[in-house]
């Protein structure tokens, strides 16, 4: 029991493919607010005359704010109209982006960046929105479409930010973000379907219900743990790529590391394909395949310290595995309780980003002491651990349902 529900909860409308696509576009547009900061940090440091340690806080607090939004804003989607929540956050993103553009000092910019990070969790409001407004047979496809929009937004956010920053300065980047929120908000108000609340719990009881949800549902727990491990693999690779390129046999600069992000666009396609495969084959099968693909990627990447061809191949395989796992694990968790999509997503995404943070921390130490072989060994070990955890839940899950759980 996850909390008191209305005696006759209204059934949400089934969203058309066009509306699901619009959710994906909005998700991609808003997530750029979170990732636009990273490429322009040196410009900000030069503009305010501060060191890299100080300016790194601009990006750091944005991620901190994003984590807070995941934990404290996502559950509201079960209690209130998600359409209004999304539109309210888009308006707030406009305000915070303007505040960042006109920030008089580094302290004001850090504060604005934190606020921008909090409201950038809009994409994860839209993922459960798409799931609950889709037929069960199309839920994976819809989730995959929105996740694809997020991945494209991350890619474009970094790319556009770098171009605009080089041409017109870092303030222009935030100005463009603010301007971009205007048509996005108008499109959202016009096309997004009305969300139907699924519970009448107070905000405090919504947060309190997170623990019983995780405690009582094995599928949610396993999806959280498995994806946290895969996300740790993903971040362990990407955070150490620049060091490998700079210190390996090629002595390549950071621009090359950014170029590898374009190769990672394969993940956007993998998210959609993973969602469709989950609908047809069942989420457990796709999760198992995703774990195998991620582990295979690190086997390929074991040769990445001496071969650019193997490094590029490994990046593509890794992104396909991680993004397919992201969608299939998410779809599996959503199937547990259609009335708790926001809270389930809050649990799921918080665990995912916590796994990423742990992966970054541990992998940095491994890279320092053991080099690239330490990163490869770490990735393979996490893949094997994820496979074991996934396998442990197989008998009970199969007895319940091959697809839903």
Task: Please give the pLDDT value at position 262.
Answer: 72
Dist. CA 344–CA 143, nearest whole Å:
14
Dist. CA 312–CA 247, nearest whole Å:
17
Whole-Å CA distances, 86 to 142, 149, 180: 18, 16, 15
Dist. CA 384–CA 37, nearest whole Å:
35
Task: Please give the pLDDT value at position 259.
Answer: 65
The mean of the pLDDT values for the chain is 84
Contact of 173 with 50, CB cutoff 8 Å: no
Dist. CA 241–CA 254, nearest whole Å:
9
DSSP secondary structure, 265-290, as one string: THHHHHHHHHHHHHHHH-HHHHHHHH
Region of poorest pLDDT, from 145-154, 253-262, 363-372: 253-262
Percentage of the chain exceeding pLDDT 90: 35
Which residue is listed with tokens 């016009």?
190
Crossing angle of helices 283-301 and 266-281, rounded to 10°: 150
Which among 96, 76, 100, 95 is positioned nearest to 86, based on CA atoms? 76
At 257, is the pLDDT very low, low, confident or very high (cuts 50, 70, 90)?
A: low
Q: Is the pLDDT of residue 5 over 50?
A: no
Dist. CA 158–CA 258, nearest whole Å:
9
Which among 89, 37, 85 is positioned nearest to 62, based on CA atoms? 37
Half-sphere exposure of 16 (CA within 13 A, CB side): 6
Provide the 10 A C-beta neighbour count for residue 191. Answer: 17
Q: Is the pLDDT of residue 121 over 50?
A: yes
Dist. CA 299–CA 295, nearest whole Å:
7
Whole-Å CA distances, 28 to 89, 331, 348: 14, 19, 19
Region of poorest pLDDT, from 73-87, 94-108, 302-316: 73-87
Which residue is listed with tokens 């301007």?
179
Residues with Cβ within 8 Å of residue 13, at least 6 apart in sequence = 133, 193, 194, 196
Crossing angle of helices 106-119 and 82-101, rounded to 10°: 160
At 342, is the pLDDT very low, low, confident or very high (cuts 50, 70, 90)?
A: confident
Task: Please give the pLDDT value at position 23.
Answer: 86
Burial zone of 339 (CB within 10 Å; 0-12 exposed, 13-18 middle, 19+ buried) = middle
Mind listing the pLDDT tens digit for each residue in 154-205? 777 777 887 888 889 999 999 999 999 999 999 889 878 777 787 888 888 8
Which among 130, 146, 170, 139 is positioned nearest to 30, based on CA atoms? 146
Contact of 118 with 66, CB cutoff 8 Å: yes
At 258, is the pLDDT very low, low, confident or very high (cuts 50, 70, 90)?
A: low
Rg from Cα positions in the chain: 21
Domains and CATH numbers, the chain: 17-200 (1.20.1250.20), 210-400 (1.20.1250.20)
Mind listing the pLDDT tens digit for each residue in 275-286? 778 888 889 999
Name the residue with higher pLDDT: 219 or 82. Answer: 219
Overall size of the chain counted in residues: 405
Contact of 35 with 157, CB cutoff 8 Å: yes
């Amino acid at each position: 029991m996850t909390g008191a529900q209305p005696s006759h909860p209204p059934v949400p409308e089934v969203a058309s493919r066009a509306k699901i696509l619009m959710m994906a576009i909005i998700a991609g547009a808003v997530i750029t607010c979170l990732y636009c900061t990273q490429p322009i940090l040196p410009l900000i440091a030069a503009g305010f005359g501060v060191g890299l340690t100080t300016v790194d806080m601009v990006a750091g607090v944005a991620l901190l704010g994003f984590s807070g939004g995941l934990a404290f804003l996502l559950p509201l989607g079960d209690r209130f109209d998600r359409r209004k929540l999304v539109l309210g956050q888009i308006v707030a993103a406009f305000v915070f982006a303007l505040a960042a553009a006109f920030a008089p000092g580094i302290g004001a910019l850090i504060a604005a960046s934190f606020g921008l990070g909090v409201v950038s969790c809009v994409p994860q409001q839209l993922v459960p929105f798409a799931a609950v407004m889709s037929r069960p047979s199309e839920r994976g496809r819809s989730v995959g479409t929105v996740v694809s929009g997020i991945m494209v937004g991350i890619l474009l956010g970094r790319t556009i930010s770098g171009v605009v920053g080089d041409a017109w300065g870092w303030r222009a980047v935030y100005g463009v973000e603010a301007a971009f929120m205007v048509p996005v908000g108008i499109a959202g108000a016009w096309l997004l379907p009305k969300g139907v609340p699924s519970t009448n719990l107070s905000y405090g009881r919504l947060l309190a219900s997170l623990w019983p949800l995780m405690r009582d549902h094995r599928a949610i727990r396993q999806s959280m743990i498995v994806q946290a491990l895969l996300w740790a693999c993903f971040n362990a690779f990407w955070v150490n790529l620049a060091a490998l390129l700079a210190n390996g046999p090629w002595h390549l600069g950071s621009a090359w590391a950014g170029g590898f992000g374009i190769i990672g666009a394969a993940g956007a396609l993998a998210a959609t394909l993973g969602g469709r495969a989950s609908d047809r084959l069942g989420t457990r099968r796709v999760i198992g395949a995703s774990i195998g693909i991620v582990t295979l990627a690190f086997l390929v990447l074991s040769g990445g310290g001496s071969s650019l061809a193997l490094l590029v191949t490994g990046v593509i395989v890794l992104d396909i595995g991680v993004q397919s796992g992201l969608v299939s694990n998410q779809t599996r968790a959503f199937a547990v309780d259609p009335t708790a999509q926001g809270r389930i997503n809050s649990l799921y995404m918080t665990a995912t980003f916590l796994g990423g943070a742990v992966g970054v921390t541990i992998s940095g130490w491994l890279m320092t002491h053991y080099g690239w072989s330490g990163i490869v060994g770490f990735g393979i070990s996490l893949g094997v651990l994820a496979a074991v955890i996934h396998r442990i839940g197989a008998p009970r899950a199969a007895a319940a349902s091959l697809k839903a759980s």
